[in-house]
């Protein structure tokens, strides 16, 4: 039985694409059962459509609280019998409703070598600091923002000051590392 994945994204969805592709190609013994997106209009929604993957797209402002939209998300995940939730550029802090139901089954990819440079501007912050070794972290998600137990990390060197170049170098690593890490977790 293939493992059922949910991928959460807010933007372009290149990591979503890498995970969905790996499922289609049989690199992962899994399928993306649903893509969850908090940004109607995000490019990732079109990518999901091209794979024929179901989506749950919502606008947080249409709900009275985080608990309210996370209750809907939990309903979707339960209905799909999700084994693993993969946050892939989901730029929202996971709240207690979703954690209450799925903690221990939620992972996140973050564009820094945690515990350095937590938060939404990790690459920009690392460039501003002037680091020479950058990296990618995949970690379990808990109530501590970007603070859950580390599952995998990969570093790369860059001696410059262009955040766009760090993003570009980092994303090449992200796609492979995310697929490899999911493969190990669902074995
Ligand atoms: C990724 O680089 C990911 O590391 C980052 O968002 C990007 C999403 O790209 N996540 C965070 O910054 C989380 N704090 P994608 O939409 O092309 O996959």
Tell me if 153 sits within 8 A of 116, measured CB to CB: no
In the chain, the domains with their CATH numbers are 3-185 (3.40.50.170)
Distance CA 156, CA 179 (A): 18
* Any ligand 1 atom below 6 A from CB of 10: no
Percent of the chain at pLDDT exceeding 90: 99
Q: Tell the residue nearest (CA) to atom 5 of ligand 1.
A: 89
Tell me if 19 sits within 8 A of 179, measured CB to CB: yes
Atom of ligand 1 nearest to the CA of 123: 12
* Any ligand 1 atom below 6 A from CB of 135: no
Tell me if 138 sits within 8 A of 152, measured CB to CB: yes
Distance CA 160, CA 6 (A): 36
Check residue 29 and give its pLDDT.
98
**Mean of pLDDT over the chain:** 98
* Any ligand 1 atom below 6 A from CB of 93: no
0.75 cut: is pTM over it?
Answer: yes
Q: What is the largest CA-CA distance in the chain?
A: 47
Check residue 102 and give its pLDDT.
98
Which two three-digit tokens encode residue 67?
């608990």
Neighbours of 187 (CB within 10 A): 7
Element (H, E) at 150: strand 150-157
pLDDT 10s digits, 45-103: 999 999 999 999 999 999 999 999 999 999 999 999 999 999 999 999 999 999 999 99
């Amino acid at each position: 039985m293939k493992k059922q994945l949910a991928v959460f994204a807010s933007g372009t969805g290149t990591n979503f694409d890498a995970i969905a592709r790996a499922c289609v190609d049989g690199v992962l013994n899994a399928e993306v059962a649903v893509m969850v997106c908090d940004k109607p209009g995000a490019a990732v929604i079109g990518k999901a459509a091209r794979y024929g993957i179901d989506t749950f797209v919502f606008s947080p402002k249409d709900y009275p609280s985080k608990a309210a939209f996370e209750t809907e998300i939990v309903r979707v995940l339960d209905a799909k019998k999700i084994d693993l939730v993969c946050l892939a550029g989901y730029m929202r802090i996971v709240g207690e409703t979703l954690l209450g139901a799925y903690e221990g089954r939620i992972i996140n990819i973050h564009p820094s070598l945690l515990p350095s440079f937590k938060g939404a501007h990790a690459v920009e912050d690392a460039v501003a600091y002037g680091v020479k070794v950058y990296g990618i972290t995949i970690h379990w998600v808990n109530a501590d923002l970007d603070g859950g137990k580390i599952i995998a990390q990969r570093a790369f060197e860059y001696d410059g000051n262009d955040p766009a170049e760090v993003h570009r170098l980092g994303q090449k690593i992200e796609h492979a590392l995310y697929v490899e890490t999911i493969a190990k977790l669902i074995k």
